[in-house]
Structures are given as structure tokens and as C-alpha cells.
Amino acid sequence: MKVALDIDGVVADFVSPFVQILEARSGGAIDLESVTDPNFTNYPFLSSELIKQCVMEVSDDPQFWRGLAPLPSLVEWQCLDLLSRAERLIFVTHRYERDHYSIHDVTCEWLREHGVSKPVVYFTQSAKSALVDKLGVKLFVDDRHENCQDVAENTEATVLMPHRSYNQSFEHPRVTRIQDLHALTTYLG
Ligand SMILES: [Mg+2]
């Protein structure tokens, strides 16, 4: 059974350092626990233009991605590594690819550093369901409810969504909310 994981918000803590950049560039204060929308649309001091600029700023900076803190526990990383060694694990991300450095290399190095022996990462700017379908993924994990909904409605994959403050209000009959990646073991056939 092939498993596909999102990276940011699932195995890498993207939101905390990104919120720091949003605060620094806007001068406004954002309480992490109060983030109920992953697109930050409900803060009056954050224009969509400023958010876009901050996204481009971090996308241009390999150090930003290298410095992200891991979210899984050691035991969870070991479970991911077993899947990786068995060539059952892939990562699917919407991270932007830029010309002046390889986000693919930076991402694979980061995953190896945390114990994933054979990282396989797909970058797409399209709906993730297309890749999930094409690659025959049976289990999909993502923290953004838009991606979970897309894959649940357009593929046969089982969809798991780790609980986060910014996805707490989302419910879907084909999306299962999990507390952490340990829950994955229940679904692995
Ligand atoms: Mg994510």
C-alpha cells in the first residue's frame, strides 16, 4: 500500500516561523492558537498582497526550509522510515520550485536528516488528487482541508487529516481527523 504525506503542517512546522515573518512584515500580532484559517484571511492587518510577498520571501530562501522544526516524535519518524525503506512512502507538496536553488534537494536533505532513508518528493502546483490518482496512492495525509477534500472526492484513497487549530471546523464524511501520525499504523495494511 502506497502512502502519501504532505510535508508542511504534517511533518514540518511551517506555520510557527511563517507567522513570525507575517508579524515582522505587518507589525501585527498573531496568536498561533487563534489561527483558524491556513490562508490567514481573518486578520485586518494582513492584506492578500502582503501574505503573497511573505510566501515568495520564504520560497526564495533555502535557509527557511532547512530550519523548520520536525513535528513527528522519534517513534513516528521510525515508522515513516520503515515505509520509506519498503518504498511505500512518498511526499506530495505545494512548495514552490525556484530557479536559484533546488527546493527538491533541500527538502530531501531535511527528510534524510530526520531519518527518512529514501525520501521521494513530488512537487505540484495543481490539485494533489491528480498525483495521488496517477501514483496509485491508497493512504493520503494532509493538514489543509482543501487538499483533503480534493483527494477524498476525486480519488479512492483513504484521507487522514492531522488535527490543527486552522482545520478544526472542517468535517467531511470521507476525511478522518487524527491526533498524530501514530494513528497511521491503524490504516497500514
Ligand atoms: Mg500542509
Same domain (yes/no): 39, 106 = no
At 172, which CATH number? 3.40.50.1000
Question: How many angstroms does the Cα of residue 14 sit away from the middle of ligand 1?
Answer: 8
Same domain (yes/no): 19, 9 = no
What residues contact 80, with CB distance under 8 A and at least 6 apart? 5, 11, 72, 89, 115, 116, 181
Predicted confidence at residue 38, as pLDDT, reads 87
Q: Which residue has the cell 467531511?
A: 172
Same domain (yes/no): 113, 133 = yes
Same domain (yes/no): 71, 101 = yes
- Contact status, residue 90 vs residue 122, Cβ threshold 8 Å: yes
Question: How many angstroms does the Cα of residue 132 sit away from the middle of ligand 1?
Answer: 15
Q: Calculate helix-pair angle for 48-59, 15-26, nearest 10 degrees.
A: 120
Question: How many angstroms does the Cα of residue 138 sit away from the middle of ligand 1?
Answer: 18
Question: How many angstroms does the Cα of residue 140 sit away from the middle of ligand 1?
Answer: 12
Same domain (yes/no): 27, 99 = no
Question: How many angstroms does the Cα of residue 145 sit away from the middle of ligand 1?
Answer: 9
Question: How many angstroms does the Cα of residue 114 sit away from the middle of ligand 1?
Answer: 18
Tens digits of residue pLDDT in 130-148: 999 999 999 999 999 999 9
Q: Which of 3, 17, 48, 1 is nearest to 142 (CA)?
A: 3
Question: How many angstroms does the Cα of residue 59 sit away from the middle of ligand 1?
Answer: 15
Question: How many angstroms does the Cα of residue 143 sit away from the middle of ligand 1?
Answer: 5
Tens digits of residue pLDDT in 79-113: 999 999 999 999 999 999 999 999 999 999 999 99
Question: How many angstroms does the Cα of residue 186 sit away from the middle of ligand 1?
Answer: 22
Per the structure, the complete domain to which residue 155 belongs is given by: 3-13+65-187
Same domain (yes/no): 70, 163 = yes
Predicted confidence at residue 76, as pLDDT, reads 96
Question: How many angstroms does the Cα of residue 82 sit away from the middle of ligand 1?
Answer: 22
The beta strand positions in 26-178, using DSSP E, are 69-70, 89-93, 121-123, 139-141, 158-162, 175-178
Q: Is 14 exposed, middle or buried (0-12, 13-18, 19+ CB in 10 A)?
A: buried
- Joined together, the cell numbers standing for residue 167 give 482545520
Spans of the chain below 70 pLDDT: none
